[in-house]
Amino acid sequence: MSIKVEGLTYSYGHQNVLDSVEIQLQRKSFTGIIGPNGCGKSTLLKCIYRVLKPQIGTIWLEDKLLNSYSVKESSKYISVMAQHNSYQFDFKVKDIVMMGRAPHKRLLERDTLKDYQIVEKALESVNMLEFSEREFATLSGGEQQRVLLARALAQDARTLILDEPTNHLDITYQLQLMRILKKQDITIFAAMHDLNIAAMYCDYLYIMKAGRVIAQGETQKILTPERIFEVYQVESQIVQDRNGKLHILFTGDQLK
């Protein structure tokens, strides 16, 4: 088990946002988490990547309690691509990606040939190698997104957490990013808004509503028009293409 979450409850002040959430990520699986705006997806991910401290519940990483690791140590196991807002980092692209190597280094340790090779490979995998020398702040939102993915890949962790990874990307790059992710031989846990992208690429899904997980399992089995209606109040049909991938057709925009 790469990550296991047990009975996770989280409140911002008096607002209870996560209620007894249970998650188990199978090693090397691609697991998505879907649910409407504000249902608690990012809060859950932040508890896993240690920006927030759960008030109740336990998180296990590689069969040890997450909080028994130092933050640097857990960063060797979990890399993160958080929700992207346009950043004004005053760094070159290659320097941003090199930051992904930090958990593997001692303080002030110099970058090695291996680090440079990993950075180059990560940039290549997101088609951004030719942007290496560009100032990060001058890139478009989608280009920045791909560089941040390269940074997360350069971290070389066994588990990658992504918060809405395809935000800002046009359809070509959405599909490209999902294909890049799919090729990684690691565990991926991603909050997703686009149900069609989730349906096409996720092996497993967790469906959240108002801070609770209401369904979980293999995408093909649990993604149904009834569940979509229950969570989003939108009618849909689900069809399978000739490659067996699911596609959701939203058949009415009648919010009830």
Ligand X SMILES: Nc1ncnc2c1ncn2[C@@H]1O[C@H](COP(=O)(O)OP(=O)(O)OP(=O)(O)O)[C@@H](O)[C@H]1O
For ligand X, the binding residues (CB under 6 A) are: 12, 15, 17, 35, 37-43
CB of 228 to ligand X, least distance (A): 15
Q: Which is nearer to ligand X, 38 or 141 (CB)?
A: 38
CB of 46 to ligand X, least distance (A): 7
CB of 69 to ligand X, least distance (A): 23
CB of 163 to ligand X, least distance (A): 7
Q: Which is nearer to ligand X, 32 or 35 (CB)?
A: 35
Q: Which is nearer to ligand X, 123 or 223 (CB)?
A: 223
Q: How far is CA 204 from CA 30, 151, 194, 235, 255, in A?
A: 7, 25, 15, 22, 27
Q: Between β-strands 212-218 and 204-209, what pairing exists: parallel, antiparallel or unpaired?
A: antiparallel
Q: Which is nearer to ligand X, 40 or 54 (CB)?
A: 40
CB of 43 to ligand X, least distance (A): 3
Which among 190, 137, 135, 189 has a CA at the least distance from the CA of 167? 190
CA angle 220, 221, 224 (to 5 degrees): 90
CB of 20 to ligand X, least distance (A): 16
Torsion 177-183-189-192 (CA) sign: positive
Q: Which is nearer to ligand X, 43 or 236 (CB)?
A: 43
- Other Cβ atoms less than 10 A from the Cβ of 236: the count is 20
Q: Which is nearer to ligand X, 150 or 205 (CB)?
A: 205
For 67: left if phi > 0, alpha if psi spans -120 to 50, otherwise beta; the answer is: alpha
